[in-house]
Chains A and B, each alone.
Chain A
Amino acid sequence: MSTLAPPVVKGTRSANSGGRSGSLGWLVLPALLFFVTFGVVPLFGVLFLSFTQWDGIGDIHPDGLNAWRSVLGDPQLLHSLGVTFLIMILSWLVQTPASLLLGTFLAGHQRYRGFLAVLYFIPLLLSSAAIAITWKALLDPNFGLGAGLGLSFLQQDWLGKDTLAVGVVVFIVSWQFIPFHSLIYQGGVRQIPRSIYEAAEIDGAGRLRQFFSITLPQLKYTIITSSTLMVVGSLTFFDLIFVLTAGGPGDATRVLALDMYKRGFMANLMGPASAIAVILVLVGLGIALLLRRLGGTDQTDSMLEGA
């Protein structure tokens, strides 16, 4: 695979009139190698396992479509899919406006902003497990923040009631990832040329008008990028929820990834767990494609005229 040494490529390029992008194809090799080894190969392994019966330790027996039948016939799958999408949509709805506004705010150059920016990014530095343990301790109705400060409205059964638990998960996910998306939006806003705002000011547009007529449309692709990361990322929420609620109360926060883990590693049913893994991959790919479509086909083009 590594026969395409750079000098050879150079020679090909000078000889070839229109092969500018093709000649640089070797650049993709390292990434491709990693992707195939750690992405595609395990994917096929999982696909194979979904047609077998395996307890994770003993022999692997071919089992036809039984694993698929048991997964697709289980109401738990629909429930887990529902919870996954619910958390995905709610966390998108919370994160997008918040990080859009924060990113826009941080893109300015006024005083305190550098300092505030550092503060906002603190959640980004913590691991999901640490965040989950911290919040779990804070939200404990008997020993947590509410009990400690004597504030009864904080003394809810946060993780023990179905709707509250989902809300808490969405809140913590947002708390954790808003800094990251703010960073993306901050970069996006700083790319917008000053001249557009100056022209708008001359035309008499106020701050609000400038935001909705310039900032927001100019950020279209930033929004799509950030949304793709949020939505596809929320399919794989596992560590946070596993530590925080373990999918509970009951199965109120059992997202698809957690359902997969429980079937595979706690109930020793690797076949059905692999079937769910395949479903997860398909859903993720489908959503990513859909979002690309929404963004139009010219996503690589710049929004800036003449830039």
Chain B
Amino acid sequence: MDPRTTSRRSFLTFAAGLPVAGATLAACGSSGPTSTSSSAAAGGGSAAAGSGATYWTLTGQPQEDIRKATVARFNAANASTQITQTLFQNDAYKQKIKTALGAGQGPTILWGWGGGGLKSWVDAGQVDDLTSWFGENADVKDKLFPAAFGAATVNGKIYAMPAETVTPIVLFYNKKVFEKVGVQPPQSWGDILDLVPKFNAAKIAPFSLGGQSRWTNMMWLEFLFDRIGGPEVFQAVFDGEKDAWSNPAAIQALTEMQKLIKANGFIKGFSSITADSNADQALLYTGKAAMMVHGAWTYGGMKGSGGDFVTGGNLGYMNFPGVDGGKGDPSDSVGNPAQYLSISSKATDAEKETAKKFFKTAVLDAEEQKAWIGAGNIPIVQGADSLIGAGEDADWLKFQYSIASGAKSFAQSWDQALSPTAAEVLLDNIAKLFQLSISPEQFATNLNATIGQ
């Protein structure tokens, strides 16, 4: 058929042009997630005969080089008991280790995140109880941060050696924005609620949040639960106590959370922002948001992408402040308390001996500690702060160390601590809570149903 009018034709021409323009614009837009992981090294499955051991861990820089170097040092010093190391990409490892354990093809030393994942290995009888070994080797245990042992402990017994680094969640803020608005960083939850209208009046979002990722919202609840009711509130959930989510402290924390959301405490559109794209960090360093609660790992990203934001001293950081009248200790922290190494119960005695020797002599030795500091991380070793030099990141490293060593409780991220089934329900309900589509009571009811799963 013919076009009815010329105006219709020009309208259609415009309509046709729009998508193209859109695609071009987006191509110059935000940069996507950057992946530094290289492909997993192949082979190296079952243990070699003799007294050597196998060790599976993750790829990804800068951790990968540090992990390789530690094993290389051990192998150089122990010619008769070699460790064969195999590295996997993060998500591939999660699948691979489960199938390998199920098939009896697992390594001697298993790298893990502790918590719920470790518990599933313990329940399946796959890993050895190391409690008595730590009793005999008190020097190894005393060398490490006590808080790191929480996620290594299942039913009162230690099933893993805490290793590598601690990454707390902290409250970052943009000093320039605080100066511009003429306010001081918050000292309490009450201060946070008071700051919200001030920033909103200045057309600056109080908090940046990548809410679509869901675990980003979870970090807020982790802090509020701790500050209001202490670490025992979530511990009760972890221990599978009936109706643990209905604890009055939990309900109060959830209510306070929704209070902040209703007061427009978060950036407009937070529920469609993902943390993978680093847009939440960009909001902070571009000054569109004043504060952000996020993992210590975002420091590197903001330093790399934020121009002179970090090097110019505009990034402020502090532990999450306390809630007035709350039971929790404001020194408590949450995040990744450590990474964990377990020994397979299916390994031979000789392999287990090699693994224990590796734990005692090589893991977090002086060389490895230096390497972690150099990469901007805090190894979970008492006194590691003495290794912090006077570099440009020294203040940041000292701050992380003070949080990690000073925390009476260093809670593990909830989604890591719980089983995958319960974690998915948790994240789902957190998204709805932040969307204000469910009440704190409904949240508690929905999650009580998952206790014990």
Interface residues on A, range: 35 or more
In the docked arrangement, what's the CA distance between A154 and B416, Å?
Answer: 38
Residues of B contacting A112 in the complex (Cβ-Cβ under 8 angstroms)? 9
| Closest beta carbon of chain A to B269's beta carbon, Å | 4
| Residues from chain B with Cβ under 8 Å of A189 in the complex | 1
Q: Check B272 against A160 for contact (C-beta < 8 Å).
A: yes
Which listed residue (B1, B20, B268) contacts A119, Cβ 8 A?
B20
A157/B269 contact (C-beta < 8 A), A119-B17, A143-B279 known: yes
| Chain A: minimal CB distance from B101 (Å) | 9
Whether A145 contacts B273 in the complex (CB less than 8 A), given A57-B95, A248-B431, comes out as no
Of B26-34, B223-231, B404-412, the one contacting chain A is B26-34
Query: Binary interface profile of A, 195-213, with partner B (CB < 8 Å = 1, else 0)?
Result: 0000000000001001100
Q: Tell whether B421 is near chain A: CB-to-CB under 8 Å.
A: yes
Contact across chains for A145 and B22 when beta carbons are under 8 A apart: yes
Q: Does A105 lie within 8 Å of B12, measured CB to CB? A: yes
List which A236-276 residues lie within 8 A (CB) of chain B: 245-246, 248-252, 262-263, 266-269
The answer, among B272, B288, B423, B428, for a CB contact under 8 Å with A245, is B272
CB-contact partner of A116 in B16, B29, B99, B428, under 8 A: B16
Tell me the residues in window 235-262 of chain B with beta carbons closer than 8 Å to chain A beta carbons: none
Asked if B420 is at the interface of the complex by the 8 Å CB criterion, the answer is yes
Q: Which residues of B contact A104 (CB under 8 A)?
A: 1
Interface size in chain B (residues, C-beta < 8 A):
46
A175 CA to B282 CA, complexed, in Å: 30
Binary contact track A120-158/B, C-beta < 8 Å → 1, others 0: 101100100000011111111111110010000000011
Does B370 interact with chain A (Cβ within 8 Å)?
no
Complex CA–CA separation, A112 to B2 (angstroms) = 12
Whole-angstrom distance between the Cβ of B301 and the nearest chain A Cβ: 16
Chain B neighbourhood of A223, CB < 8 A: none
CA distance A298 to B354 in the complex (A): 77
Q: Is B424 an interface residue (CB 8 A)?
A: yes
In the complex, A126→B26 CA distance in Å? 14
* Interface assignment of B271: CB less than 8 Å from any CB of chain A: yes
The reply to whether B431 and A266 form a contact with Cβ atoms under 8 Å apart is no
Are B288 and A142 interface neighbours, CB within 8 A? yes
- Kindly identify, within residues 68 to 107 of chain B, every residue whose CB is under 8 Å from any CB belonging to chain A: 95, 98-99, 102
CA distance A137 to B282 in the complex (A): 14
- Measured in the bound complex, the distance between the Cα atoms of B95 and A230 in whole Å is 36
**Do B26 and A138 have beta carbons less than 8 Å apart?**
yes
* A222 CB contacts on chain B under 8 angstroms: none
Asked whether A215 is an interface residue with its Cβ less than 8 Å from the other chain, the reply is yes
Are A249 and B25 also in contact (CB < 8 A) when A119-B20, A122-B20 are?
Answer: no
Q: Specify which chain A residues have a CB less than 8 angstroms from the CB of B98 in the assembled complex.
A: 57-58
**Given A119-B20, A140-B279, A143-B279, residue A207 in contact with residue B1 (CB < 8 A):** yes
Supplied contacts A158-B272, A249-B211, A267-B425, 14 more A-B pairs, CB within 8 Å:
A116-B12, A119-B17, A133-B32, A135-B26, A137-B30, A138-B22, A160-B211, A160-B268, A175-B19, A248-B212, A250-B431, A267-B421, A268-B420, A269-B421
Can you report 5 residue pairs joining A to B where beta carbons are below 8 Å apart?
Answer: A57-B98, A110-B2, A116-B13, A144-B29, A249-B212
B-side interface residues toward A, CB under 8 Å? 1-4, 9, 12-13, 16-17, 19-20, 22-23, 25-27, 29-30, 32, 95, 98-99, 102, 211-212, 267-273, 279, 282-283, 288, 420-421, 423-425, 428, 431-432, 435, 437
